[in-house]
Amino acid sequence: MKDLTDQKDLTDQKDYKQEDRCTLVLLAAGKGLRMGGDTRKQYMNFKGMPLFAYSLATMDNCGIITDILITVPEGDEEFCREMVEACGLGRKVRKIVSGGKERCFSVHNGLQAIDWPCDYVFIHDSARPFIEEQAIRRLYDEVKTHKACVAGVPSKDTVKIADSEGFVKNTPNRRDVWIIQTPQVFGFEMIRKAYEEMVASYDDLQRKGVIVTDDAMVVEYFTGCKVKLVMASYSNIKVTTPEDLVTVSAYLKENSDE
Ligand code: CTP
Ligand code: MG
């Protein structure tokens, strides 16, 4: 595996002053059903590194992130730790814990397992390998003011809201439509409490047909806090289906230093 230990730590070299403790909760506990194949999506190998290690490397190298927790499928904790060490990315990784049945339960497990000082939590899907440091910095700047912010990009496509029969109900103004990504970043106490409430009322949400697909939703439902949208980049794709692998290869080729 590629050794990444030679990457520079920004806290050591720039005018950067770290004031807060920021924990990354890196989600890698999914089943990768839409990707299919024998190897779970998060472990698929790209140029000698498993997919989950790409965003881990960026976060490891970013001085804003002080601590890292990774969620993995139950039983994979040791296997994942070995991969993290083999990539030379273990220095901030405090815990590797098992995730839950759905993404939201993995996040909840991760938040509950943080037992070190923490001001802000960055929740990131390991299925988004190309998160850029600039976006992390922007998010950090915004969360200090707003307590809740999410990475995203303005939609390039027109979006339609459908009715239950598959007809167009209405068309939101494209200017107001954002495609939401991760990281999603929050004050630690607020997001932990919001997730506790979400888990306690999960059955109720299900009965109402509410599917919790991101972290901002939990804040929207269970706190009075407004969530700020922060521009990330169109390259911060989520690797979801086999077609996405073409984009991953193209992106890796483009950024190759060979
Ligand atoms: N994830 C998780 N725990 C779950 C489900 C998802 O930690 N129970 C993580 C995935 O590993 C992924 C991120 O959440 O990094 C976003 O999920 P998604 O892209 O949907 O990945 P999978 O759930 O693995 O894929 P699929 O839905 O196709 O099964
Ligand atoms: Mg999923």
What residue owns the CA closest to ligand 1's atom 17?
30
Looking at the domain assignment, is residue 242 inside a domain? yes
What residue owns the CA closest to ligand 1's atom 7?
29
Q: How far is ligand 1, taken at its centre, from the CA of residue 104, in Å?
A: 10
**How far apart are the C-alpha atoms of 251 and 24, rounded to whole Å?**
24
CATH number for the domain spanning 224: value is 3.90.550.10
Number of domains the chain contains:
1
Looking at the domain assignment, is residue 170 inside a domain? no
List of residues 6+ apart from 211 with CB closer than 8 A: none
Residue 8 has pLDDT above 90, yes or no: no
For the question of whether the overall pTM of this predicted structure is more than 0.85, the answer is yes
Looking at the domain assignment, is residue 5 inside a domain? no
Enclosing domain of residue 83: 22-151+180-254
pLDDT mean over 209-231: 97
Looking at the domain assignment, is residue 232 inside a domain? yes
Please report the pLDDT score of residue 18 as a whole number: 67
pLDDT mean over 4-24: 62
Please report the pLDDT score of residue 258 as a whole number: 59
Handedness of CA 2, 256, 244, 134 (dihedral sign): positive
| Ligand 1 binding site (Cβ under 6 Å of any ligand atom) | 27-35, 41-42, 71, 99-103, 106, 125-127, 238, 240
Both structure tokens of 175? 């200017």
* CA distance readout (Å), 133 to 56, 85, 124, 129, 233: 12, 22, 13, 12, 11
Ligand nearest to the backbone CA of 240: 1
Looking at the domain assignment, is residue 4 inside a domain? no
Looking at the domain assignment, is residue 230 inside a domain? yes
Burial 105-144 (b: 16+ CB within 10 A, else e): bbbbbbbebbeeebebbbbbbbbbbbbeeebbebbbebbe
Q: How far is ligand 1, taken at its centre, from the CA of residue 253, in Å?
A: 25
Q: What single-letter amino acid sits at 94?
A: R
pLDDT mean over 105-116: 98
Looking at the domain assignment, is residue 127 inside a domain? yes
Tallying the residues shown for the chain, one arrives at 258
Q: What is the pLDDT of residues 119-139, one digit of tens each?
A: 999 999 999 999 999 999 999
Looking at the domain assignment, is residue 143 inside a domain? yes
Report the atom number in ligand 1 closest to the C-alpha of 240: 19
Report the atom number in ligand 1 closest to the C-alpha of 127: 15
Please report the pLDDT score of residue 14 as a whole number: 52
**How far apart are the C-alpha atoms of 29 and 93, rounded to whole Å?**
16
Report the atom number in ligand 1 closest to the C-alpha of 107: 7
